[in-house]
C-alpha cells in the first residue's frame, strides 16, 4: 500500500496551525508539526496589554488543544535543518524525515542588532511590545509614568504587523487623555519610512491622523545606535531624537534555525515564489507567514490568505502536478486609532489601500481607510474569529483569500499634501 506523503511543519504559530488543520481536514497526509512552546498567543492582542485593554491570560491557549485529529504535535526546539537530505533534527536528539516541508517559523525581534538598545535603559526607559513579557513590562511602566517625551520608533523594515507601531502611538494619545496626563506627554513617531506608512494613500491618511492627535512625525530616520546614558536615538545622518520613554520596534529577522540552515537571505527570511509560496531553491519546501520574503505584510491575515495556496500546492506537488500561482499578496489590517474607533486597510501586491466599503461593496459595514466604531467592533470580534474559525482552518464568511476590487474607490483622489514632518 502506498504511504501518505509525510508533511513536516516547522512552527505552530498562526500560519503553521492553520496549514496543519487545513491539511488534516482534507486528509491523506501524515502530518507532524514542531514547536518549542507549549502555549499559543493571540499576537494582535499584545498591544492591548500596555493600555489595560486586555490581560496576558486573555491571549493564551495550550497549543496541543488547537489541532484537529490527525496532527501530531511535537514540542521541541529545532536543532538543525538539512533541506538537501529532507531531514530536521530536534534538540531532543531525534530526527524527522519528510517528503514535504512547510516552514512557518515566523520571525523574531532582534534588539541586540542595534548598538545600545539592550543597554542600561532596556526595560527601564526602553520597551517593546512584540513579546508577552515586553508588553507586560510596558504596562507596568505606563501605569505610573508621570509624563515627558514618549517616542514610538521603528528600527527598520520589515516588521511584524506594520500598522502596530502606529496603533501604539494612537493608543498612547488616547490612554493619556483618558488618564488626564496628555498635557504632560509629548508623543513623537519615528520611522525609517518617508511617511507614516509604506503605501501613499494610506500614508497620507495615517499622517493626518497623527497630526490631528498632535503626534509629531520624524521620517527617513535610520538608527545607527541608541545612547542609553543621554537617552537619545542617533541617526546615520547625524540627527538625534531624545526620549524619556522609548517604545521601540527592534530589527526583525528570521529565526536562528533558518539562518543556520542556509535557506534564508541576509535577514534570515526564505526566498519564496510570491504567487505559489514554494521555496525558490527547494521544490519540496513551502513557506508561509512571516518566514517568507514575499513583498506583503507580515500579519496574521496574510498567513490565513496564504494558507489555501500552500495547501492546494502541497496537493499538486504530491501528485506531480503544476503548482497554482494563486496568492495575490492580499493583506487586511485593522488599525486602532483610539476613542473606540479603528480604520481598515485592504490591499495586495498590485493595489494599495484605498477608500471604500468591506466586505460588501455598498453596505459594508466596514469602512476602508476611514475611522469608524464599526471597524473597532470588527477588530474586537476578530479575537473570537481567530480562535474559532481562522486557527481551526475554517472559512471566514464573506472574506475572500483574493482581494476584490468591488466597493473600492480605485481612482486616485485629488492630491492632499502630507502633514509637515519634524526634523
pLDDT in tens, 160-176: 999 999 999 999 999 99
Task: Give dist(CA 9, CA 307) in Å, integer.
Answer: 13
Cβ partners under 8 Å of residue 165, min gap 6: 152, 153, 154, 159, 189, 191, 249
pLDDT above 90 as % of the chain: 92
CB 173 within 8 A of CB 210: no
- What does the radius of gyration of the chain's CA atoms come to, in whole angstroms? 22
Q: What is the pTM of this model?
A: 0.94
Count the helix, strand and coil residues of the chain and give each as a percent rounded to the nearest 5.
30, 30, 45
Instruction: Please state, rounded to an integer, the average pLDDT across all residues of the chain.
Output: 94
For residue 226, give the nearest of 366, 305, 124 by alpha carbon: 124
Task: Give dist(CA 355, CA 413) in Å, integer.
Answer: 10
> Beta 341-347 vs 331-338: how paired, if at all?
antiparallel
Question: Given this model, what pLDDT does residue 413 score?
Answer: 52
Task: Give dist(CA 348, CA 297) in Å, integer.
Answer: 9
Q: Label residues 168-188 b or e (16+ Cβ within 10 Å = b).
A: bbbbbbbbbeeeeebeebbbb
Phi, psi of 60 (to 5 degrees): -130, 140
Report in angstroms the alpha-carbon separations of 157 from 131, 194, 222, 253, 353. 18, 12, 10, 10, 19
Question: Given this model, what pLDDT does residue 309 score?
Answer: 98
Beta-carbon count within 10 A of 313 CB: 24
End-to-end CA distance of the chain, in Å? 70
CATH class of the domain comprising 123-251? alpha beta
Same fold flag, 6-109+253-318 and 123-251 = yes
Question: Given this model, what pLDDT does residue 421 score?
Answer: 57
- 345 strand-pairing partners: 333
Question: Given this model, what pLDDT does residue 2 score?
Answer: 79
Residue 42: pLDDT band with limits 50, 70, 90: very high
Task: Give dist(CA 148, CA 79) in Å, integer.
Answer: 45
Positive or negative, the CA dihedral 154, 416, 410, 205 is positive
Residue 358, classed as helix, strand or coil, is strand
- 242 strand-pairing partners: 232
- 258 strand-pairing partners: none
Task: Give dist(CA 73, CA 88) in Å, integer.
Answer: 15
Q: What pLDDT digit, counting tens, does each position of 219-277 carry?
A: 999 999 999 999 999 999 999 999 999 999 999 999 999 999 999 999 999 999 999 99
CB 342 within 8 A of CB 379: yes
- 150 strand-pairing partners: 187, 245
Q: Could you tell me the residue ranges of all domains in the chain?
A: 6-109+253-318, 123-251
pLDDT above 70 as % of the chain: 97
C-alpha cell of residue 147: 509624563
Q: Candidates 3.40.50.300, 3.50.50.60, 3.30.1310.10, 3.30.300.180; correct CATH number of 6-109+253-318?
A: 3.50.50.60
> Nearest 5°: CA angle at 392, between 264 and 106?
15
Task: Give dist(CA 10, CA 22) in Å, integer.
Answer: 15
Q: What pLDDT digit, counting tens, does each position of 270-321 carry?
A: 999 999 999 999 999 999 999 999 999 999 999 999 999 999 999 999 999 9
The single-letter DSSP state of residue 157 is S
Amino acid at each position: 500500500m502506498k504511504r501518505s506523503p509525510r508533511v513536516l511543519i516547522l512552527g505552530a504559530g498562526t500560519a503553521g496551525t492553520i496549514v496543519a488543520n487545513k491539511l488534516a481536514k482534507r486528509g491523506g497526509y501524515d502530518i507532524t508539526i514542531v514547536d518549542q512552546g507549549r502555549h499559543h498567543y493571540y499576537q494582535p492582542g499584545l498591544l492591548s496589554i500596555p493600555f489595560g485593554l486586555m490581560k496576558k491570560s486573555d491571549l493564551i491557549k495550550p497549543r496541543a488543544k488547537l489541532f484537529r485529529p490527525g496532527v501530531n504535535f511535537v514540542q521541541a526546539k529545532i536543532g538543525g535543518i538539512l533541506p538537501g537530505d529532507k531531514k530536521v533534527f530536534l534538540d531532543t536528539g531525534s530526527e524527522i524525515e519528510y517528503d514535504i516541508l512547510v516552514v512557518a517559523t515566523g520571525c523574531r525581534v532582534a534588539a541586540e542588532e542595534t548598538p545600545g538598545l539592550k543597554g542600561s535603559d532596556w526595560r527601564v526607559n526602553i520597551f517593546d511590545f512584540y513579546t508577552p513579557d515586553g508588553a507586560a513590562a510596558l504596562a507596568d511602566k505606563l501605569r505610573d509614568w508621570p509624563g515627558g517625551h514618549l517616542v514610538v520608533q521603528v528600527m527598520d523594515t520589515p516588521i511584524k504587523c506594520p500598522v502596530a507601531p502606529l496603533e501604539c502611538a494612537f493608543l498612547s494619545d488616547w490612554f493619556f487623555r483618558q488618564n488626564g496626563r496628555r498635557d504632560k506627554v509629548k508623543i513623537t513617531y519615528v520611522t525609517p519610512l518617508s511617511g507614516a506608512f509604506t503605501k501613499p494613500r494610506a500614508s497620507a491618511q495615517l499622517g493626518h491622523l497623527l497630526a490631528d492627535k498632535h503626534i509629531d512625525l520624524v521620517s527617513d530616520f535610520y538608527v545607527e545606535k541608541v545612547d542609553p546614558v543621554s537617552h537619545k536615538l542617533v541617526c546615520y545622518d547625524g540627527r538625534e531624537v531624545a526620549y524619556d520613554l522609548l517604545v521601540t520596534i527592534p530589527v526583525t529577522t528570521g529565526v536562528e534555525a533558518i539562518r543556520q540552515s542556509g535557506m534564508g537571505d541576509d535577514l534570515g527570511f526564505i526566498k519564496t515564489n510570491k504567487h505559489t509560496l514554494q521555496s525558490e531553491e527547494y521544490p519540496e519546501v513551502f513557506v508561509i507567514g512571516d518566514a517568507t520574503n514575499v513583498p506583503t505584510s507580515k500579519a496574521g491575515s496574510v498567513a490565513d490568505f496564504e494558507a489555501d495556496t500552500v495547501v492546494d500546492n502541497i496537493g499538486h506537488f504530491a501528485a506531480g502536478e503544476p503548482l497554482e500561482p494563486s496568492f495575490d499578496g492580499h493583506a487586511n489590517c485593522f488599525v486602532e486609532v483610539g476613542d473606540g474607533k479603528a480604520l481598515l486597510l485592504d490591499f495586495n501586491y498590485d493595489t494599495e489601500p484605498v477608500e471604500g466599503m468591506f466586505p460588501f461593496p455598498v453596505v459594508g459595514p466596514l469602512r476602508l481607510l476611514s475611522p469608524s466604531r464599526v471597524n473597532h467592533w470588527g477588530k474586537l470580534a476578530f479575537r473570537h474569529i481567530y480562535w474559532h474559525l481562522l486557527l481551526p482552518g475554517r472559512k471566514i464568511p464573506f472574506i475572500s483569500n483574493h482581494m476584490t476590487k468591488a466597493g473600492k474607490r480605485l481612482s486616485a483622489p485629488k492630491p492632499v499634501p502630507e502633514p509637515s514632518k519634524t526634523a
